[in-house]
Chains A and B, each alone.
Chain A
Amino acid sequence: MADLDKTDILIGIASYNNAKTIDHVVRAVDAGLAKYFSDKKAVIINSDGSSKDGTQDIVKTAALDHAAMFLTYPVYPAHRISMPYNGIPGKGSAFKLIFQKAVEMQADACCVIDADLRSITPEWIELLLSPIIKGGFDFAAPLYSRHKYDGTITNSIVYPMTRALYGQRVRQPIGGDFGFSGRLAEFYLKQDVWETHVARFGIDIWMTTEAIANGFKVCQTFLGAKIHDPKDPGSDLSDMLVQVVVTLFNLTERHYQKWKEIKDSKEVPTCGFRYHVGLEPVKVNIGKMLDIFRTGISNLKPLWTEIMGQGDFGEIEKIGGLSDREFRFPAGLWTGVVYDYAIAYHKKMMSSEHLIKSLTPLYLGRAASFMMEVEEMEHHKVEEEIEKVCLEFENQKDYLINNWR
């Protein structure tokens, strides 16, 4: 264990019942380290939420035949440590343990990888760590090719709002796989957020926003396609939305003095060779999404009127009356709704959980509208549509600032 006191690179894999995929992830990480960072000391930390399916055993035994893969053997073969984390069960708590280990081992560069990935290759390790080791960046956010129906919270709320507030175009702020420097890990660890939604799905937006808002050098790195195991069916959409959006709004509160001064947005440096890959088709049930949206209109009128005012609610009612085929939820109206929710959260109109859960039908309405709009579009056209949403968020930012007090 003596040679584990210090490391150059630390790779964190947060897992919970990922026996099906973690062998592939660990071997890809191992190969990536051997291929691109064979002269550096590296440790793979598996931070596990007490899996019941033998995930931890697989991490320890996953084997890579270096002789078959490489002409030269790595100078320092990567150590593997698998340990359960403490605290609130969730991805954020798993990451906290990874940050602790990164600080203890004085790692220069770190990255975190989801344990359910099926599309990870050894190149991901190089793409996430090189910007930190060679490029002098503190934070590397992922950039993926994703199906146009995937990542709807990212496309409709998190990316447009983060970009409008903090002025940096990080396309996947809640991608899940990040590279970061040792000093950023130390910064993360010092923050007192581990009893909040950050300990769960809020961790991704928190890491990205804190890196941007605190002036760390940020870039994004193109990783290719993101294909992963289906999400845990028990993880309810509303819960996920609450954890992400509450964290986003908390950060909006925290960094008000910074974001109120920022106008427009700019590209962040992008590493990696960008290309578009064929993606697995995604089935969606637009009828059900619209049904929930309309159920919201007929049942949540007093609550929504209180949050967004009679004017915007009138618009929502109007589009709710359209047929499925004609249904469109304009980006401008959606932007107003999200900002009204941010203001309502700031003014503590009601419990945060109720507030954000009441956003779910509106979010589903907007997501359904977006899916119908882009149904026939190619990838680059879809990105243009997302760009329009982002510009709406930037253009209406004054409304948020003026109503914040």
Chain B
Amino acid sequence: MENFINVLLDPLKDFWTGFIVFVPKFIAMVIIFAGGVVIAWGLKLLLLRTLLAANFDTWADKAGLTAIIRKGDIWGKPSDLSGKILYWFIVIIFLMIGLNALQIQTIDKVVSQFFLYLPRIFSALLIFVIGYVIAGFISRAVLIAAVNSGYHYAKILAEAVRLMLIVFILAMVLEQLSVAPSIVVAAFSIMFGGVVIALAIAFGVGGIDAARRIIEKGSEEKQEAEKDVEHL
């Protein structure tokens, strides 16, 4: 009977012992994380005040940094954006350190992998941010050029270009993060190749007459308009 009670109590004792060991670690993790959030918030505030005192936004305007951010459809102040980036970076770092405090082998492994992975995350983030800005810029250039050429579906064309570029950038990001690189490259190649072939067939077969009409009309109109009107 005593044996049976021991069989019943041992797992509970083990659980309790484990729980007693775990709770301080968990509390440590929560404290580290909460501390991290406070530090992140404080550093963000400090950075914002420093940037404001240094007239960073004016400098960013003059240096064209604001224009670059706007090209990517980000409308906040450059100082706010810098503050947010710093905040989330610190929060994530402290979250990882906090998880490390749990001293769970699997999590430890994940955390150490995370820190080894950090350079890749950085470069992927950089590719994404720069790519996103460039995609926004090119998409808007296409939109305006198409409108100025009188193309009625300019918005759709610009969005299609933007989407294609974003897909291209995401493929690069995933490749950089080593997330199933062979599948990503293969999927991207198939998709990109498919789009190009579809467009080539559509233009080649379906649009011969339309293309001829457009080119003829375009060259006639250009000759007429450019020869007659002197805008200057």
- In the bound complex, do residue B227 and residue A230 qualify as a contact, i.e. CB atoms below 8 Å apart? yes
Chain A, residue nearest B152 (CB): A295
Check B205 for interface membership: any CB of A closer than 8 A.
Answer: no
CB of B9 to closest CB in A, whole Å: 69
Instruction: Give the chain B neighbours of A176 by CB distance below 8 A.
Output: 232
- In the bound complex, do residue A230 and residue B66 qualify as a contact, i.e. CB atoms below 8 Å apart? no
Among B140, B144, B222, B223, the most chain A Cβ lie within 10 Å of the Cβ of B144
CB of A114 to closest CB in B, whole Å: 10
Check B85 for interface membership: any CB of A closer than 8 A.
Answer: no
Check A405 for interface membership: any CB of B closer than 8 A.
Answer: no
- In the bound complex, do residue A351 and residue B232 qualify as a contact, i.e. CB atoms below 8 Å apart? no
Contact among B66, B137, B150 for A288, CB-based, below 8 A: B150
Please report the C-alpha to C-alpha distance between residue A120 and residue B232 in the assembled complex, in whole angstroms: 18
- In the bound complex, do residue A350 and residue B232 qualify as a contact, i.e. CB atoms below 8 Å apart? no
Supplied contacts A152-B229, A303-B143, A347-B61, 14 more A-B pairs, CB within 8 Å: A150-B229, A228-B230, A231-B230, A233-B226, A238-B148, A240-B231, A285-B221, A285-B224, A295-B152, A298-B152, A300-B147, A350-B71, A351-B67, A357-B144
Q: Residues of B within 8 Å of A, CB-based: how many?
A: 34
CB of B69 to closest CB in A, whole Å: 10
- In the bound complex, do residue B140 and residue A360 qualify as a contact, i.e. CB atoms below 8 Å apart? no
Among residues 62 to 96 in chain A, which have CB atoms less than 8 Å away from a CB atom of chain B?
Answer: none
CB of B196 to closest CB in A, whole Å: 25
8 intermolecular pairs with C-beta atoms under 8 Å apart:
A149-B229, A150-B230, A152-B231, A231-B230, A292-B150, A303-B140, A350-B140, A360-B148
User: What is the 8 Å Cβ interface bit string for chain A, positions 344-373, against chain B (1 contact, 0 not)?
Assistant: 000111110010011011000000000000
- In the bound complex, do residue A230 and residue B226 qualify as a contact, i.e. CB atoms below 8 Å apart? yes
Check A201 for interface membership: any CB of B closer than 8 A.
Answer: yes
**With A300-B143, A350-B67 as given contacts, are A361 and B148 in contact (CB-CB < 8 Å)?**
yes
**With A288-B221, A350-B71 as given contacts, are A174 and B148 in contact (CB-CB < 8 Å)?**
no
CB of B171 to closest CB in A, whole Å: 26
Check A312 for interface membership: any CB of B closer than 8 A.
Answer: no
Check B225 for interface membership: any CB of A closer than 8 A.
Answer: yes
Contact among A149, A151, A240, A354 for B144, CB-based, below 8 A: A354
